[in-house]
Structure 1
Amino acid sequence: MSRYAFFLHRGRARFGAAALAGAAAAVALTGCAAFEYREDICNSGEYPVQSVGGTGSACVSDEQEPPAGYVRYPAGKVPEQVGDKWDMYWHTHTLDKDGKIIDAPDAG
């Protein structure tokens, strides 16, 4: 192998290794987003309830009714995962004693 061919071959090997390392880094950085972990509001066999007049919430067994001072969320507006659309919504809204959606008093 000529001296020129030897250097050309070594240069390609370095370029190939650098390209492979760069591709691996890109997958590592973006691949995590595809497998993002989302925490459920309640465990399996439970449903979330909202405190009347406040932004507090709790989880209740599927076999039980909400405890005193809590109500079920309106259909279609139930938070399912921490940080989802409805979880964030209920940080600034609440339900009054009649089940009407109102602005939360502490939503400053």
Structure 2
Amino acid sequence: MYLPRRTSRAAAALRPGRVRIAAAALVSAAAVVALTGCSGFEYTENICGSDEYPVLSVGSTGSSCVSDKEEPPAGSARFPEGKVPKEVDDKWDVYWATHTLDKDGNIIDVPAAG
């Protein structure tokens, strides 16, 4: 009479079907981490370097950075107090995309291109 050998637990754990399921689960977990794992880390880019400040082109939406040791060049002005953009796409960077200063320093809507 032939009695089949018992399969050990270790051998049962390595059955091809279980290996495929475990591999699929690991691949799925890696994909989730790759797609969403870095979403908590937001990259922000400063408008200017550490020894510079931003200036606005009078009458247009252009801007540039000037050394802290210099005054704004002709045709440029400092942003109004409290309305200085610090990072790309922050509240004030977006605001100044549609607004500018006139020659008297008043905030105006950007003139339509024509």
TM-score of the two chains, using structure 2 as the length reference: 0.77
- The runs of at least 4 consecutive aligned structure 1 residues that moved more than 6 Å come to none
1:34 maps to which residue?
A: 40
Is residue 2:71 matched to residue 1:65? yes
Contact 1:47 1:61 in 2 (8 A): yes
AA at the equivalent of 2:67: S
Counterpart of 1:55 in 2: which secondary structure? coil
Unaligned runs of 5+ in 2: 1-6
TM-score of the two chains, using structure 1 as the length reference: 0.81
What's the RMSD between the two structures over aligned residues? 2.5
Query: Deviation digits for residues 26-61 of structure 1, max 9, x if unmatched?
Result: 111112333343222111100100011111111001
Is residue 2:19 matched to residue 1:13? yes
Is residue 2:50 matched to residue 1:44? yes
2:96 maps to which residue?
A: 90
Unaligned runs of 5+ in 1: none
Alpha-carbon distance in 2 for matches of 1:32, 1:106: 40
Query: Larger % of helix: which?
Result: 1
Contact 1:47 1:59 in 2 (8 A): yes
Percent identity, aligned pairs only, is 68
Q: Select the structure of larger CA radius of gyration.
A: 2
Is residue 2:97 matched to residue 1:99? no
Alpha-carbon distance in 2 for matches of 1:7, 1:57: 65
Alpha-carbon distance in 1 for matches of 2:71, 2:35: 45
